[in-house]
Amino acid sequence: MAQKNKPPPSPDRSLPKSAQAKAQDDQVIATNNSSIVSKRSVEKLYYPDEPHFFRFFVKKFQRRAPLINRGYHFRMHAIDVLVRNFLRAPRKVGKKRKVVVNLGCGSDVLPWQCLTRYREDCAGVKFVDVDFADLMERKRAVVEGTEELMGVLTGVKGRGEVEKPVVWESEEYVQIGCDLRELGVLRGGLERVVEVEECEFLFVAEVSITYMEREGADGVVKWASGLGDAEFVLLEQILPEGEEHPFAATMLSHFRKLNTQLKSVRTYPTLQSQLERFSSKGWSSIQAWTLWQAWADGTFLNDEERRKLDEVEPFDEWEEFAIFGGHYCVIHAKTQPGEVKIAGTRDVSGHDRSWDALLPGRLSVQYDALSGQKGQRRFAAAMLLSLEDEINNQKGDIVVNTMGLGTKSRLQSCDIFSRGDHTRGMELAFGDGGPTTRMCHALADLGGDSGVLLTGGRAGPADVHKDCWVFNKKTSSWAKTHDLPVPLYRHSVTSLGQPGLALLAGGRGPTTDLFGDFLLFTPEAGWTSCEVVGEVRPLAVYGATLASRGVKNEGNGYFHGFFAGGIREGLIARQILTWELTISDGTKPTIKFKYPKGLDDFHHHTLERFGATAYWDGNTYKIIGGIVRDQILQHSMEVLQLDESNYVLSIRRTEYLSNNGDGLPPRPLLIGASAVPLSNGQFVVLGGGATCFSMGTFWNKGVYTFRPVEHTQDNSQTLPSSVSAWSHEKTIDIVPGERSIPLRPTSTVEGGTNAQVHIKAIPRIKLQSSKDFEDLLRKGQPAVLEGLDLGACASLWSLDYLAAQIGLDRQVVIHDSPTQSMNFTSKNFKYTTTTFSDFTQLLKSGSRLYLRALSSDKPSEKPASLDSDFPSIYPDFTLPPQLSAVHENLFSSVLRMSGPVNMWLHYDVMANVYCQISGSKRLILFPPADVTQLGFAPGASSSSIDVFATLANAPWELANTSPQEATLSPGDVLFLPPLWLHTATPTSDVSIAVNVFFRDLDGGVYAAGRDVYGNRDIAAYEKGRMDIGKIVDSFKKVPSEVREFYLLRLAEELKGRARG
């Protein structure tokens, strides 16, 4: 039994602080503000039937992302369970009162939650909140001014009846204002409100004492153990895989930027070090969990409680939840005798010994860094292509990473990677048609000439796809194939090693139901359910590891492989199986599962994963990334090499070696990454990353190539020679109904079809003031304006929200197009009147629709105005002060919504700002001087030229133009000067924008009369066209040759004056 520690003698009054120390305290206090906003989000969503108390401390509700909500919910729940258990335990002999002390409480509402949830258990209990005096004064003011908080408290003392450091006192609840480093002051405060020797204490420190200097934090832990019968609940950050782990590095950087460094985490980075910390400071019984361990521990949640959490909101951020939970510990310590242990479901040290005993499998790692945000996408899927190089007359490999989640939204594009110079001159262009935006889909190379199979995926967790496509490597085109029987994402698909065949296992649909079937794909029959035979029945899971070894024993129709892990009911499933698939003509395929021999708990922990990539390389299974139960994957476990022989699985311990001997490259985060096998046991990893809870997003910033290291008989090793670096060639779109931009333009010669068009990027700028925008107006050049505050629309405007606010039965006129590219001249679309509700539903289904809102009052006479046409959503949209010139000269404000359709090439006479609210669009602009090159008929403001198709199929036709382009993401604002020709194509399923037109020329310049769209040409042009008619008429009586001669001379004179 540990020795009791006497409380140290300290002054009972706070000492004055320096300005620097006070500033540091204020920064720590500021962390409370973000935390309580997140807890308020949890309170409202997860506890709808309880009284809400955080709302009195949070002025405006902000719904947090599902990951933040789930993480904060479980943080709060873990503490709630341990506090509840303390309250319900019988009082110890000789103790008259229980006291719950919240150290560094901030605006937490633990006392009111307990008094509401566990009213009977709180009889005689006193809750004590402790934090800086300034914060406690603010909290007192809120409590005293809120009837709902005061209503559960009795025996409230007046301000003159309490003595510092006590700030506020009632029978059930006390506030003490002091610095936790001043333990004498804290002790004095407690003695003023309770008889310390007659009490048993529970101290709670939720991410609070870690901001203190380590000595001060340890002093609190030791001091608390000296108060007799006491318990301590600590929740704070740890570094189980060191500071180099991407989550850890992001977390430490976040707190460093806030100037609230975590000062204990380096001394106590693991659960074991936390056990030793508490054991050495007077605590006799200690249990330790990571939050990820606690999530699976019945102490905190049972299976039914976990299932019910999925009813709150759709959730699919398991990898990010796991690495967050793995970097936080929960310590429950008692001064009473008991065990000192890590309370999770596995003995870490035992597994580490098993890992060290394995035979090594060495891999060299080559890292090729990428610049900027190139290649940043996660939960994509990649394929390897071999294309002809027209310059070098040889084949070269490229990797195509398809769709997934980008830095701001899901992507309708692919990243193209190549290495060396072998792909220079190669052209990759996708033919018409292709899959829509998605993530968590699967790709499987069907072998031979069968192409690459893309299956399922999702937009949001409740918006799931069942369509499937085959990419033809020869024609570089997508073709629709047989749909899945049900929509699925996070399903596992593997090719079977025989051309055209693939196997699908598991997956999740738009509800929480799991898909428990196994499906065989053949090009002719599509998807066929396999009959499971034998005694072993696999669990229905999603995100499992599936790989095929190909044909078994060279027999036709017999295949075998490996299946493990996945998630089921919120936990990683405990299953490792081998399988045998039999395909016979005319009968239903059968699949039989077996348990491999010799499995122990180490195998289960290491092989059972969620979100990993797996394949057979001809010698071993490679299992790459994902998450495991209980802990963060150790670096050496992230890539597994697994041998199989006679149903025995043997794991090789991975050792990484630098390819060039200069040290290992930056550690990748193998979550949401795409892995593609190459030849000779090599594989490449690209993309990937994770949202690191509320602390930022980590992206892998390069391409990793892994290659096996050969061993010699004397156990020496030879590093493979360096290979050419991978580079990011281009990002190209998959847009149904159009061709995409080539990987690289073909080799050029002077003139003809080899002429090139050069597209410049429209500059991106940040406006600091309205003067900056006025300067931009004077320059007359387009720009993408970043970082502007457009109001609540940025977070509110979803299709469902707009339908609810505008009215389900509101009539709107939309463009309905049968093709991707609308053509105003040929009118290849029709105008359709429909309800706004039907319009939004059609957009969700991928219909080619476009809404350019018109005036609700007199659509043929008045310009559109968001405030009068859509008053219910108008307050959501604001023009920031930097754009005051727009507001002061406002002409119209237009709501624009579209599905997968292109807006035709046209120009606007008035300047305008295009504000992208939701979704994304790619726009190509041409300067006004290009009008003569782009097929604009006299007097017409629209052209029939399909710019995007021309760029893909005949780019030389635009060689004499000067295009500029930009892709707008939510929050971006494009400034379009007058007369700049422009066209747009969506890069997301749905786009929502507000287009604001304003007059930037003198009022007398514009033509008089009706102008609904803001593109009526100026008065001088309209008059000039009439004057041209008169001039031509004046030549009627002269011969045609003479008329042509002089009219052409006049035309040249006009050109000269236009440019003079």
CATH for 319: 3.40.50.150
Residue owning tokens 């050049």: 781
pLDDT band at 859 (very low <50, low <70, confident <90, very high): confident
R_g (Cα) of the chain, nearest Å: 34
CATH for 840: 2.60.120.650
Distance spanning both ends of the chain, measured CA to CA: 97
> 192 in a domain, yes or no?
yes
Q: What is the average per-residue pLDDT within 21-33?
A: 76
> 7 in a domain, yes or no?
no
Is residue 352 predicted with pLDDT exceeding 80?
no
CA angle 1060, 939, 824 (to 5 degrees): 130
- Give the count of beta carbons closer than 10 Å to the beta carbon of residue 265: 21
Q: What is the average per-residue pLDDT within 259-267?
A: 96
Q: What is the average per-residue pLDDT within 339-358?
A: 62
pLDDT at 1012: 66
Q: Comparing 352 with 800, which gets the higher pLDDT?
A: 800
pLDDT band at 1 (very low <50, low <70, confident <90, very high): very low
pLDDT at 403: 95
Cβ distance 558 to 581 under 8 Å? yes
Q: Are residue 223 and residue 366 in the same domain, yes or no?
A: no
- Range of 55's domain? 19-345
Range name among 42-51, 78-87, 848-857 with the lowest pLDDT average: 848-857
Model confidence over 115-163: pLDDT tens digits?
A: 999 999 999 999 999 999 999 999 999 999 999 999 999 999 998 999 9
Q: What is the average per-residue pLDDT within 993-1009?
A: 81
Distance CA 692, CA 671 (A): 11
Give percent of the chain with pLDDT exceeding 70: 89
Distance CA 736, CA 1018 (A): 37
Model confidence over 448-502: pLDDT tens digits?
A: 889 999 999 998 898 899 999 999 888 778 889 999 999 999 999 999 999 999 9
Range name among 161-170, 354-363, 751-760 with the lowest pLDDT average: 354-363
* Residue where a domain stops, chosen among 701, 733, 765: 733
> 495 in a domain, yes or no?
yes
pLDDT at 271: 97
pLDDT at 428: 58
Cβ distance 391 to 747 under 8 Å? yes
Entry pTM:
0.71
Q: Are residue 808 and residue 845 in the same domain, yes or no?
A: yes
pLDDT at 685: 98
pLDDT at 1035: 81
Cite the beta strand spans of 927-1026 per DSSP E.
964-968, 973-976, 981-986, 991-998
In this structure, are strands 173-177 and 126-131 parallel, antiparallel, or unpaired?
A: parallel
Model confidence over 171-198: pLDDT tens digits?
A: 999 999 999 999 999 999 999 999 999 9
pLDDT at 21: 67
What are the counts of helices (DSSP H) followed by strands (DSSP E) for the chain?
A: 23, 54
Q: Are residue 429 and residue 521 in the same domain, yes or no?
A: yes
Distance CA 232, CA 288 (A): 12
Q: Are residue 401 and residue 430 in the same domain, yes or no?
A: yes
Is residue 1047 predicted with pLDDT exceeding 90?
no
Q: How many angstroms from the chain centroid is the CA of residue 456?
A: 19
pLDDT band at 16 (very low <50, low <70, confident <90, very high): low
Q: Are residue 74 and residue 209 in the same domain, yes or no?
A: yes
Q: Are residue 375 and residue 295 in the same domain, yes or no?
A: no
Q: How many angstroms from the chain centroid is the CA of residue 941?
A: 40
Is residue 1000 predicted with pLDDT exceeding 60?
yes
pLDDT at 431: 55
pLDDT at 399: 95
> 13 in a domain, yes or no?
no
Nearest CA to 983 out of 918, 936, 917, 919 is that of 936
Nearest CA to 277 out of 2, 509, 521 is that of 2
Token pair belonging to 711: 């061993």
pLDDT band at 8 (very low <50, low <70, confident <90, very high): very low
Q: What is the average per-residue pLDDT within 1025-1049?
A: 77
Cβ distance 784 to 764 under 8 Å? yes
Q: Are residue 845 and residue 788 in the same domain, yes or no?
A: yes
Q: Are residue 675 and residue 655 in the same domain, yes or no?
A: yes
Is residue 861 predicted with pLDDT exceeding 80?
no
Q: Comparing 426 with 464, which gets the higher pLDDT?
A: 464
Q: Are residue 912 and residue 1031 in the same domain, yes or no?
A: no
pLDDT at 285: 97
CATH for 521: 2.120.10.80
> 752 in a domain, yes or no?
no
Q: What is the average per-residue pLDDT within 984-990?
A: 94
Is residue 20 predicted with pLDDT exceeding 90?
no
What does the mean pLDDT of the chain come to? Answer: 88
Distance CA 303, CA 297 (A): 10
Distance CA 963, CA 440 (A): 35
Distance CA 530, CA 496 (A): 14
Q: Are residue 977 and residue 1046 in the same domain, yes or no?
A: no
Token pair belonging to 707: 């290659």
What strands lie across the sheet with 613-616, from one edge to the other? 613-616, 621-624, 639-645, 648-658, 360-369, 702-708, 683-686, 674-677
pLDDT at 747: 34
Q: Are residue 504 and residue 482 in the same domain, yes or no?
A: yes
Model confidence over 55-82: pLDDT tens digits?
A: 999 999 999 999 999 999 999 999 999 9
pLDDT at 1014: 65
Model confidence over 282-333: pLDDT tens digits?
A: 999 999 999 999 999 999 999 999 999 999 999 999 999 999 999 999 999 9
pLDDT band at 391 (very low <50, low <70, confident <90, very high): very low
Distance CA 258, CA 26 (A): 11
pLDDT band at 6 (very low <50, low <70, confident <90, very high): very low
Token pair belonging to 7: 């409380």
> 741 in a domain, yes or no?
no
pLDDT at 957: 84
Q: Are residue 773 and residue 914 in the same domain, yes or no?
A: yes
Model confidence over 669-679: pLDDT tens digits?
A: 999 999 999 98
pLDDT band at 744 (very low <50, low <70, confident <90, very high): very low
**What is the total count of domains within the chain?**
4
pLDDT at 1059: 66
pLDDT at 745: 32
> 670 in a domain, yes or no?
yes
> 750 in a domain, yes or no?
no
Give percent of the chain with pLDDT exceeding 90: 65
